[in-house]
Amino acid sequence: MDALDSPMTATLGDELVFRSGARAKNRVALAALTNQQSHADGTLSDAEFAFLMARAKGGFGVVCTCATNVAADGQGWPGELGVYDDRHLPGLERLAAALRAEGALAFAQIFHGGARAPSTLTGQQPFSASAFDDPSPTFEKPRAATLAEIERVIGQFRDAARRCCDAGFDGVELHGAHGYLLGQFLSTVTNQRDDAYGGDNAGRARLLREVTRAVRAAVPATFTVGVRLSPEEGGFARGLDLDESLEVARWLADDGVDFVHLSLWDATKNTKKRPEEHAIPLFRAVLPADVRVVAAGAVWTRADGEALLARGADVVALGRAGIANPAWPREVVTEGREPKRAPLTVDELSARAVSPTFSTYLRRFKGFVAP
Ligand SMILES: Cc1cc2nc3c(=O)[nH]c(=O)nc-3n(C[C@H](O)[C@H](O)[C@H](O)COP(=O)(O)O)c2cc1C
């Protein structure tokens, strides 16, 4: 029988229990969405609170924050939420409590920008796995991180996760995708180190694994810990190989993750390396059954989401459809309505708790905001 016809396939409305014991009321997550709405010191703003709360009220089983920086020198964008200082705690506590009160699991995505943490924000030259060049006009050549800096970053991820846990979040997602610091170490292009943090796949994955283990050890087993990965290269995620990513996912399961989140951008497509195969079943096959697979990429309709579950995903994460449809789980999954599709006017976005600041940022995503 084709997997697509399998009577065992869950539906989007079904509850999901993570290995941590955390229960999501359905299989629909709001993916991490950078929105540039936080205050300059990284504290939560009312606009960001309202954006996330509208999605919790709309029925998302999991609501994830934007990429939040674990260190002042890891900030990737202006207006980014911070988790690196106790001054961030009151906002994080308010957000976690309110999301949970709406019945959503509250996750924070934690990250360090590495080479993509510009000096205009951090006041210093960025660091990465290695010094490397890039043709993009705003690129700043990073220097290679010292071993002491690597140790510091591991501690910063650990402390950030603990802070999220103390603030009342249900879990964290380590951002290993899209070519930020953890991804820069995974890459054969941006990691040219000849020490224990470079070289073969085990060496390049060492930082991500040490961060994962440090985080896992710092929080209770009931706190959900996952990792977002780009399975193959694309955009800023360079120097990645599908089979190496599968190996990394397996190692992360050994290190105690509750989920692996595949960032696919277009989840209707098969892998580049093996065009006859899709990433979801490949990752599902190498992971223990209780390590959940989350998948994101161009899900708009209920059928799009169900197709990913049928391929073996446990949870479907929405980015753009979740911006356009704050109540996607209720309206599209439960009531069977057609989703609102892009482009949206600024007024339509505003009616969906998207502030003018966020609307401006969204113009970077072609065809999303009406001219
Ligand atoms: C405005 C915007 C901001 C994003 N910010 C993040 C982010 O902070 N962290 C992350 O991992 N992915 C981020 N992404 C990627 C999304 O999480 C998602 O993987 C991607 O948009 C594909 O899903 P979609 O087709 O449902 O939008 C962002 C995407 C958009 C459109």
SS3 for 292? strand
Q: Does residue 310 belong to any structural domain of this protein?
A: yes
What is the count of structural domains for the chain? 1
Other Cβ atoms less than 10 A from the Cβ of 20: the count is 23
Q: What amino acid is encoded at 240 in this protein?
A: L
SS3 for 147? helix
pLDDT of the residue at 187:
98
* Closest to 169 (Cα-Cα) out of 292, 73, 68: 68
Q: Does residue 29 belong to any structural domain of this protein?
A: yes
β-strands 292-296, 315-318 pairing: parallel
Q: Does residue 350 belong to any structural domain of this protein?
A: no
Cα–ligand 1 centroid distance for 98 (angstroms): 23
Q: Ligand 1 — pocket residues by CB below 6 A?
A: 31-34, 66-67, 109, 175, 177-178, 228, 263, 265, 296-299, 318-321, 362, 365
Q: What amino acid is encoded at 31 in this protein?
A: A
Q: How far apart are CA 198 and CA 204, in angstroms?
A: 5
Cα–ligand 1 centroid distance for 229 (angstroms): 13
Print the domain residue range for 233: 3-340
Q: Does residue 227 belong to any structural domain of this protein?
A: yes
Flag whether the pTM goes above 0.75.
yes
Q: Best substitution site from 30, 33, 352 to test ligand 1's pocket, by max atoms within 8 Å of Cβ?
A: 33
Evaluate whether 339 touches 301 at the Cβ level (below 8 Å). Answer: yes
CA 127 to chain centre: 21
* Closest to 239 (Cα-Cα) out of 287, 195, 282, 183: 183
Q: Does residue 300 belong to any structural domain of this protein?
A: yes
Q: Does residue 109 belong to any structural domain of this protein?
A: yes
In this structure, which residue's CA is closest to atom 14 in ligand 1? Answer: 33
Residue segments in the chain with a per-residue pLDDT below the cut of 50: 1-6
Beta bridge partners of 167: none
**243, burial (CB in 10 Å: exposed 0-12, middle 13-18, buried 19+):** middle
Evaluate whether 30 touches 322 at the Cβ level (below 8 Å). Answer: yes
pLDDT of the residue at 135:
87
**Angle at the Cα of 182 (from 117 to 105), degrees rounded to 5?**
95
List residues with catalytic annotation: 180
* Closest to 179 (Cα-Cα) out of 134, 122, 226: 134
Evaluate whether 107 touches 170 at the Cβ level (below 8 Å). Answer: yes
Measured N-to-C along each axis, helices 242-254 and 206-218 cross at an angle, to the nearest 10 degrees, of 30
Q: Does residue 260 belong to any structural domain of this protein?
A: yes
* Closest to 290 (Cα-Cα) out of 337, 253, 244, 237: 253
**Joined tokens for residue 28:** 């629909």
**Joined tokens for residue 109:** 């995505």
Domain of 148: which CATH number? Answer: 3.20.20.70
pLDDT of the residue at 2:
40
In this structure, which residue's CA is closest to atom 28 in ligand 1? Answer: 33
* Closest to 220 (Cα-Cα) out of 162, 153, 151: 162
Q: Does residue 365 belong to any structural domain of this protein?
A: no
Evaluate whether 181 touches 171 at the Cβ level (below 8 Å). Answer: no
